[in-house]
Structure 1
């Protein structure tokens, strides 16, 4: 049973959703491959056929060995010099998706639909011919020679590890709504709500150094006051009419800052909302946490527990990823203290914060600059190592 792999004792609600997904697959309600994108990703349904999540298997990522989208195969074959993103570790997109959700939760941002690492198996996933042949052979043996078949560890197709993100309803691509808002300006109170939600997106993307945030991979849900009265989300919050969902976070957590010639900019930096200084609400929400190095250490350790489950995990590369993230946190903290805007934030010098092997010392390195700064923390970095 795939359920043997999935355990979420601290989140019974999420565990129930995964159980429904497994039941649906057993009943023949299979995940449906999403046509868009450069990887194998799937709409997962409950037993009644309702979409409840998006599953992105590790083996079917853009450069995974079982990616069903042939365009990436030819990309790798014909243009290897421009293959992949040189600042990212390959085939860790599923971890990046789940880690973005973790950062979102720890900072209280509430813009990333809950995402965790799960295991699923389905006939509609892309498997090798060998895996499918083995599965057919085991099923045949179980039917014809039950005594032998019962000795198999598992009979069906092997489960795939990947990210499972809860499906959000009522949202549309940000680009659609942003164009509408240009033609039909929002009321002032709703504009402030949008600005607040936008700033949370900025905080998330900047901390995880997302290299793939265009206006087509974040969503907006907007209902004019008085609409959606039956929606539980709005019954007790009549002024809460606009919400952002940050999806597609699989190309984040680089181990170095992107090269100048391929910088992967944040596309929200060109929006008018990016010219507005961070609000007091955003500062109150995240500044006290981000400026506490012990909180940042705890966040790094939580990410370590998640990333180390990958078979290709490399401690040294993970530490480089965290050095970039800590540098992003340092810049963001200073920008919030100085009352800067998102566009001013992305113009700040790139920095990394390296930890010393001795423990409670860290070193700030400004790239392209000889400047370094040493600081001390109450606890040594990664004291559990």
Structure 2
């Protein structure tokens, strides 16, 4: 079982790469398969850079305060997203969400998600990725950083810089948006060999697994990144996982904003499961694994004072239900596209010790169907 220490909120690390030109790809790869001790080294390098007046830089992209955190040389090594600069937080430096709140309040936020907890969702996706050994999410942890380049309340005064809590995700180099890569593959059919097609199908299905478990409401071709060196390397990185881990299934929270899995329409989601991936997941996903994963997520989500035990348990019930449906799809060999249309369910944990040595899911959990009775319009 993967041991994860969530007590110190500043835990982080990264792989030190002795940069030679031919090693650039291996350095990028190591950012997806990195140890906590290395992640901590990157975090320390960011703090040292801030002390040397090399500050995180606000990116104009996105709808929230998102910063490229740099090392002492000015190289971007991670992406930091402060909690109080999230899309619907008061200190969000981007104006579009403010106008949405004023002019289109009925569609402000997502009814199925806990507001201003995206940084926990980012870290939670990383833990799910690690515990399932998917290796597609750059390591992400919850940390605290202070920098004059962040946005602070005017009440703090101009010279007061306080640490901000947020998610820190390692930066990956050499990746492109999926939309760009898909366009290139469509233009030149020979760029992707038959072996690479098989490899990409497996990687794509790993992303489907991740998104399905965390019930991601915002996967699109801009936050699926691909690194393709024809004939040599092919990897993906699933970033921007902040709009996941809902407290209600989107289908049961809103009549019109159900946030279906958009990847279900792509050809790789309609293919049969990669057999090695299928066997791996069926071996790993057990009632005990589900229980341990939810313990890790519960401890993570408890970092947010807004989250209470009731809300967190609602999130975990959905995670368990998604794992139940995923396992069902794997057993029946239903491809991801079919899995995405399964009737959503939740699993409620049964208390007691007598089931702890059992592999029977229904001894661990109680299956419950979703109530569609009180859906809102938005």
SS in 2 for 1:269: helix
**Alignment partner of 2:218: what SS?**
coil
Q: Does 1:362 align with 2:357?
A: no
Which residue is 1:170 aligned to? 174
1:198 aligns with 2:198: no
Equivalent position of 1:244 in the other structure: 236
Q: Could you say which residue in structure 2 is the equivalent of 1:315?
A: 309
The alignment's C-alpha RMSD in Å is 1.7
Choose from 122, 129, 132 the match for 2:154: 129
| TM-score in terms of structure 1 length | 0.82
Q: Specify whether residues 175 and 73 from structure 1 end up closer, same or farther in structure 2 by C-alpha distance, changes over 3 A only.
A: same
Q: Which residue does the alignment assign to 1:288?
A: 283
Moved more, 47-56 or 279-288: 279-288
Task: Tell me the equivalent position of 1:380.
Answer: none
1:13-24 mapped onto 2 (5 Å cutoff): 13-24=38-49
Measure the CA separation in 2 of the matches of 1:11 and 1:262: 37
Q: Once structures 1 and 2 are overlaid, which stretch shifts more, 94-103 or 272-281?
A: 272-281
Q: Secondary structure at the match of 2:365?
A: strand
Structure 1 position 184, deviation (Å): 2.1
Q: Do residues 211 (structure 1) and 217 (structure 2) align?
A: yes
Once the two structures are superposed, residues 230-267 of structure 1 have per-residue CA deviations (whole angstroms, 9 ceiling, x without a partner) of xxxxxxxx5xx110100000000001100342111211
Matched residues in 2 for 1:315 and 1:204: separation? 24
1:274 to 269, 275, 284: 269
CA distance in 2: counterparts of 1:367 and 1:305, whole angstroms: 25
Q: Is the 8 A contact 2:272 2:334 kept in 1?
A: yes
Render the CA deviation track for 1:130-158: whole Å, top value 9, x for unaligned: 2234xx3xxxxxxxxxxxxxxxxxxx511
**Does the CA-based 8 Å contact 1:34-1:42 persist in structure 2?**
yes
**What residue is the counterpart of 2:322 in the other structure?**
328
Q: Alpha-carbon deviations, 1:239-298, whole Å to 9, x = none? A: xx11010000000000110034211121111111111011111112211121x1011000
CA displacement 1:76-126 (0-9 Å, x = unmatched) = 122222110000000000000000000000000000000000110111101
Distance 1:190 1:8 in 2: 33
Q: Which of 1 and 2 has greater Rg? A: 1
Unaligned runs of 5+ residues in structure 2 are 1-7, 14-34, 356-363, 373-378
Distance in 2 separating the partners of 1:17 and 1:166: 8
What is the CA–CA distance in structure 2 between the aligned matches of 1:91 and 1:344, rounded to whole Å?
A: 32
Residue aligning to 1:29: 54
Supply the distance in 2 between the matched residues of 1:181 and 1:207 (Cα, whole angstroms).
29
Contact 2:12-2:41 at 8 Å conserved across structures = no
TM-fit CA distance, 1:306: 1.0
Distance 1:182 1:340, change over 3 A: same
Work out the CA distance in 1 between the residues paired with 2:262 and 2:320: 22
1:301 matches 2:295: yes
Within 2, Cα distance between the matches of 1:362 and 1:13?
37
Which moved further from structure 2: 33-42 or 279-288? 279-288
Mapped partners of 1:368, 1:44: distance in 2: 43
The Cα shift of 1:363 comes to: 1.5
Deviation for aligned residue 1:356: 3.9
Count of residue pairs the alignment pairs up:
330
Structure 1 residues 141-152: aligned runs within 5 Å: none
